[in-house]
């Protein structure tokens, strides 16, 4: 079985930080081994990526002013100011700032 890499960006979402905090408590209390906690977090990375790829089908259009962009380790990050988001339902949302993180979905070795 080939080892696949999944991004760790969802660990900073509220569900990810809650998971990590809970696992840290369990390790500190001696209820689980640190290796098990690491495996759980690794499975979380994989599960969230797969769930979003399969189930998240919504689209949106946005307009705004690009403030900052960077490309590092195959990850694009865009910071946009004064953003007007239009959802596929037709609803419009305005935001002062939006951060977009875009990761490569190709598996290692794919062109």
Rounded to an integer, the average pLDDT of 69-92 is 93
CATH topology of domain 9-55: Helix Hairpins (1.10.287)
The structural domains of the chain, with segments of one domain joined by +, span 9-55, 60-103
CB 66 within 8 A of CB 78: yes
CATH number of 60-103: 2.30.18.10
Neighbours of 15 (CB within 10 A): 11
Rounded to an integer, the average pLDDT of 34-49 is 94
Distance CA 25, CA 28 (A): 5
Indicate if 60-103 has the same CATH topology as 9-55: no
For residue 110, is pLDDT > 80? no
């Amino acid at each position: 079985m080939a080892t696949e890499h999944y991004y760790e960006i969802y660990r900073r979402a509220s569900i990810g930080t809650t998971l990590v905090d809970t696992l840290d408590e369990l390790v500190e209390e001696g209820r689980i081994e640190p290796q098990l906690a690491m495996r759980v977090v690794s499975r979380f990375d994989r599960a969230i990526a797969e769930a979003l790829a399969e189930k998240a089908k919504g689209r949106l259009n946005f307009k705004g002013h690009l403030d900052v962009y960077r490309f590092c380790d195959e990850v694009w990050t865009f910071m946009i100011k004064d953003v007007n988001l239009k959802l596929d339902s037709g609803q419009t949302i305005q935001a002062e700032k939006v951060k977009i993180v875009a990761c490569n979905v190709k598996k290692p070795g794919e062109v």
